[in-house]
Structure 1
């Protein structure tokens, strides 16, 4: 059943909106679950979402989801489960972090997109239509023959993640300390790690990211692969 992903800064009303959605979308024959941020960070949130996704239940993600890479992972989880999804942006919070990357409906993982501010009512009719009346997502690419261009995507994915991992290893070998900015060639934002990361852990995180990115290969993502992996590392290494 459908996945509703909320995003927004602290104080933007996400938890209140999640409760409204649970009341409006759930019922005896169609339970609605709210999955909130908890200890364990991004990986724990994603694991709980994947565990809850089923043919019967509605899953509502009550979290900041401030980075494109986080929303992309949840998009991939919905595609893998074969379920509809939508994104609800709770805008106008007083403490929106500088790192917040506003959703862009031009990105597949940010649409269908609905935005509410303050006390505006939820567009429930439109949300229901997106979740319950839209055509099911197409078969996942992993279940059918890969198009020829996917080979180029996989090559670019492997190269981009290798370059990021190499930059992290090189910076640490050069004496970079936790909290310092690691610069990756071709990526505008710097990577700040809260602790040292060994080669084995870095390889494991790289494999995880590649697995998620391969769920929906697209040439549209090529320019952002390195940036998304940097963001993935930033959130995963805590």
Structure 2
């Protein structure tokens, strides 16, 4: 499901290159399946997704609203045909680097490769092509006018829709050229106007990691075999191939340097969160606060609670939904301005417990139900009680304040 993003000036022959590239990719697959050992298990379906149609003509670039709508339609079309067995060629200027980045992210989210093909037609030639289209439109239905200059292999008749001259100059001025310094523009292939065909072998290798049989001459194959023998005799070669992520495909011992596409957190879809996870968090933490409140009502005095405690080092309070008790050290329980646990200035006042509960929920809301990214784990409903008690123990013992001060 690789994605090919065409880009170039308006009237640079983008649609012609898109059709030409689709035809060459089909021929390349025919060549592979005709060989004795084909590394592909099945053929790729080649889809050409246009950026314009009768509902979205080239005049949509006159206004930001209509241009954004046309880009949304092209984006939906490309996303719809992205499949495991498809190569999608997005025809159009794609002149905004932020737009190309969005397409790159979509390919990244689909765990597939992506490349940019820059149709490098000079500005003067683009203006000449547009003037020829304007003359053809003015002379309809007699379409006998031809483009002023055509490259070898260019279409004999140019029936594309022309741009208004002012809009053409505006789009040329607004064009943001692709750069190899941008990760979303790599790998980048430039096709000059004078070239009869795009470098289909290099493009196919970048997309699939498979080298075409006709990509190398006999001399090049000899050089590759000599290089392979040299690398095989070196102990460093194995480490280098592992570090660069190279792999071997089944075509004549050729080595593919196609990187494995790994999703990052910006494009990876987060795991589904249990809809009742937040409710369970609220319910379990509230029950723990209620149990502490009940304990302070039956043991209002800190000294009396310490006297009745089985642990001489502090007060141990058993709470529901938790396997560990809430523990208050003896020096902390008696360090308040009052002897009452829940009185003003006490260690277990209700406003303080509610504040700690809200603070803990705000810190752990993103982790509940394994909803925080991929592979980072999460907090299940059974772990809520113990996690909240550990947070309370750290705060009641003074460790949280020491960590903040440090």
Classify the TM-score, shorter chain: 0.5 to 0.7
Unaligned stretches of 5+ residues in structure 2: 30-41, 57-68, 128-170, 210-257, 271-406
Aligned with 2:115 (options 86, 104, 110): 86
Match of 1:136 in 2: 260
Match of 1:102 in 2: 177
Q: Distance in 2 between matches of 1:82 and 1:114?
A: 21
Match of 1:116 in 2: 191
Residues 79 and 98 of structure 1: CA distance in aligned 2, closer, same or farther (over 3 Å):
same
Q: Distance in 1 between matches of 2:187 and 2:113?
A: 10
Aligned with 2:101 (options 55, 63, 72): 72
Cα deviation for residue 37 of structure 1 reads 0.9
Cα deviation for residue 140 of structure 1 reads 3.1
What is the aligned residue count? 145
Residues 144 and 65 of structure 1: CA distance in aligned 2, closer, same or farther (over 3 Å):
closer
Match of 2:80 in 1: 51
Cα deviation for residue 41 of structure 1 reads 0.7
Match of 2:45 in 1: 31
**Larger gyration radius, structure 1 or structure 2:** 2
Unaligned stretches of 5+ residues in structure 1: 146-238
Cα deviation for residue 21 of structure 1 reads 1.3
Match of 2:9 in 1: 9
Q: 1:115-167 deviations in whole A, cap 9, x for unaligned? A: 0111313111111110010123113325499xxxxxxxxxxxxxxxxxxxxxx
Q: Distance in 1 between matches of 2:23 and 2:89?
A: 11
Cα deviation for residue 32 of structure 1 reads 0.4
Residues 92 and 82 of structure 1: CA distance in aligned 2, closer, same or farther (over 3 Å):
same
Q: 1:29-84 deviations in whole A, cap 9, x for unaligned? A: 32100001122411111111111111001100001001111111111110011111
Match of 1:20 in 2: 20
Residues 15 and 144 of structure 1: CA distance in aligned 2, closer, same or farther (over 3 Å):
closer
Cα deviation for residue 9 of structure 1 reads 1.3
Greater RCO (CA < 8 Å, at least 6 residues apart): 1
Query: What SS does the corresponding residue of 1:86 show, helix, strand or coil?
Result: strand
Q: Distance in 2 between matches of 1:119 and 1:48?
A: 31
* Two-structure CA RMSD over aligned residues (Å): 2.0
Q: Distance in 1 between matches of 2:77 and 2:260?
A: 23
Q: Distance in 2 between matches of 1:68 and 1:51?
A: 22
Please report the TM-score for the alignment, with normalisation by the length of structure 2.
Answer: 0.34
Q: How does 1:122-201 map to 2 (within 5 A)?
A: 122-133=198-209, 134-141=258-265, 142-143=267-268
